[in-house]
Chains A and B, each alone.
Chain A
Amino acid sequence: GAVVSQHPSRVICKSGTSVKIECRSLDFQATTMFWYRQFPKQSLMLMATSNEGSKATYEQGVEKDKFLINHASLTLSTLTVTSAHPEDSSFYICSAKPGSLVNEQFFGPGTRLTVL
């Protein structure tokens, strides 16, 4: 149980286009999902916290107009990188937290974004 999927696993796009990444909790409901970014050979950096039915909260230095997050249901959160540029190329990872008292996050496999 507690499986999180991400789609797509890999995407290549041209500079200036927008890219949407989906994060789904397959067998549990997630009231909270998190989006992370990981540069090569670096650790995960939290970008934003996505709460179902409310606006996402962004970490300091993360542009909310650049990285649009929507958490429309208890099993789906989406991250849209708008007007992508080469510096947005990275590995984006989501995690989902069940709506329970247990403080545990389950991670997706990640999405590799390459902006040409």
Chain B
Amino acid sequence: AQRVTQPEKLLSVFKGAPVELKCNYSYSGSPELFWYVQYSRQRLQLLLRHISRESIKGFTADLNKGETSFHLKKPFAQEEDSAMYYCALSDSWGKLQFGAGTQVVVTP
């Protein structure tokens, strides 16, 4: 069965500190993983997808198949990074399974 685990419900960091959001998955096929972000009172939007291998807003995420992880990292957190972050796994039909989400609070 496919599963996405985000162990941290809340992550509180100081501005300028590194932040890492953990995501582990289980999937029998070849996974396609995403990070979505939801800012306060806004809709869910795509932040990163593993196949793009890009950095968006300073965030990066590397797929580690050996550890079945797709952790999201940013070296220097900014106040505008405060949001809800969801890790998601897509199956071969394009259906998304979301993790429970991690609320990030960046304090000045």
Contact = CB atoms under 8 A, between A and B. Distances in A.
Interface in A22-45: 32, 34, 42-45
Contacts of A103: 32, 90, 94
Interface residues of A, number: 18
Contacts of A108: 43
A104 B46 contact: yes
Q: Do most interface residues of chain A lie in helix, strand or loop, or is the interface mixed?
A: strand
Contacts, number: 39
Given A103-B32, A107-B43, A108-B43, A43 B96 contact: no
Given A32-B94, A42-B100, A103-B94, A109 B86 contact: no
Interface residues of B, number: 18
Contact of B44 (A42, A46, A93): A93
B74 interface: no
A74 B96 CA distance: 20
A14 B99 CA distance: 32
B43 A109 contact: yes
Interface string B92-103: 011111111100
Given A103-B32, A104-B49, A44 B95 contact: no
A107 B86 contact: no
Interface in B43-83: 43-46, 49
B49 A34 contact: no
A71 interface: no
Contacts of A105: 46, 94, 96
A77 interface: no
Nearest to B90: A103
Q: Which residue of A46, A93, A105 has the most chain B CB atoms within 10 A of its CB atom? A: A105
A45 B99 CA distance: 10
Contacts of A107: 43-45
Q: Which 4 A-B pairs have the closest CB atoms?
A: A107-B44, A109-B43, A43-B98, A44-B98
